[in-house]
């Protein structure tokens, strides 16, 4: 098992967990009567977390999956920016929950793929073949 891939998978699942927790905080703010402060403050942590996942993906040399993780990082940054449009362009700000859905789905897809990769067996490198003795 690749240790770096295992770390990547753990971080990817942790991100999914953070997104779910963040959605719960949104629910607490909207229906729990606790205001949105916790959701907003925790949001900045969630937004930066994909950077860690991306570093793990880069260390693991995961190619396409690393690009997907980079996309997730971009989406996470967009997510923090969207509410800023609430007054000037509320229809743009309204994409905030849709983007949250994308973050959840994207995170889940990456985490599941990362788990599959982490479980793959590492094939030992083939030993160099012995030179055949030449007949004299």
Partner 1 sequence: MPAAPPRPPERMPGTDLAPLAQRAFVVVAWVLVACLVIQFFLVGLDIFEAIGESELHRDFAYLYGWLTPILVLLAMAAGLPRRVLLLTVALLALYAIQTYLPTIADALPGLAALHAINALLVFWLAVQVARSVPWIPELGGTVDR
Of 43, 66, 46, which Cα lies nearest the Cα of 54? 66
Q: How far apart are CA 42 and CA 122, in angstroms?
A: 38
**Residue in 51, 96, 113, 115 binding partner 1, rule: CB under 8 A:** 96
DSSP 83: G
The residues, any chain, with a CB within 8 Å of residue 89's CB and separated by 6 or more, are none
| C-alpha neighbours within 13 Å on the C-beta side of residue 25 | 16
Stretch that binds partner 1, among 2-10, 18-26, 48-56, 60-68 (CB under 8 A): 18-26
Residue 17 sits in the site that holds partner 1 (CB under 8 A): no
Q: Max CA-CA distance within the chain?
A: 91
Query: Looking at 32-40, 42-50, 55-63, 66-74, which segment touches partner 1 (CB under 8 A)?
Result: 32-40
Q: Which stretch binds partner 1 (CB under 8 A): 1-9, 63-71, 85-93, 122-130?
A: 85-93
Q: Is 1 in the site for partner 1 (CB under 8 A)?
A: no
95 binding partner 1? (CB under 8 A): yes
> What is the footprint of partner 1 within residues 42-71 (CB under 8 A)?
none
* Residue 88 interacts with partner 1 (CB under 8 A): yes or no: no
Any idea which residue has 């094939």 for tokens? Answer: 123
Nearer to partner 1, 32 or 120 (CB): 32
Q: Report the interface residues with partner 1, using CB under 8 A.
A: 20, 23-24, 26-28, 30-34, 83, 86, 90-91, 93-98, 100-101, 104-105, 108
């Amino acid at each position: 098992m690749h240790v770096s891939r295992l770390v990547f998978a753990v971080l990817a699942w942790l991100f999914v967990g953070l997104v779910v927790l963040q959605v719960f905080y949104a629910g607490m703010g909207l229906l729990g009567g606790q205001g949105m402060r916790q959701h907003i403050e925790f949001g900045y942590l969630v937004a930066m977390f994909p950077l860690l996942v991306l570093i793990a993906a880069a260390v693991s040399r995961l190619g396409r999956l690393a690009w997907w993780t980079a996309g997730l990082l971009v989406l996470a940054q967009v997510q923090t920016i969207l509410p800023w449009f609430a007054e000037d362009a509320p229809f743009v700000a309204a994409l905030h929950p849709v983007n949250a859905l994308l973050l959840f789905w994207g995170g889940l897809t990456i985490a599941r793929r990362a788990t599959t990769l982490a479980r793959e067996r590492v094939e030992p490198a083939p030993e160099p073949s012995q030179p055949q003795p030449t007949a004299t």
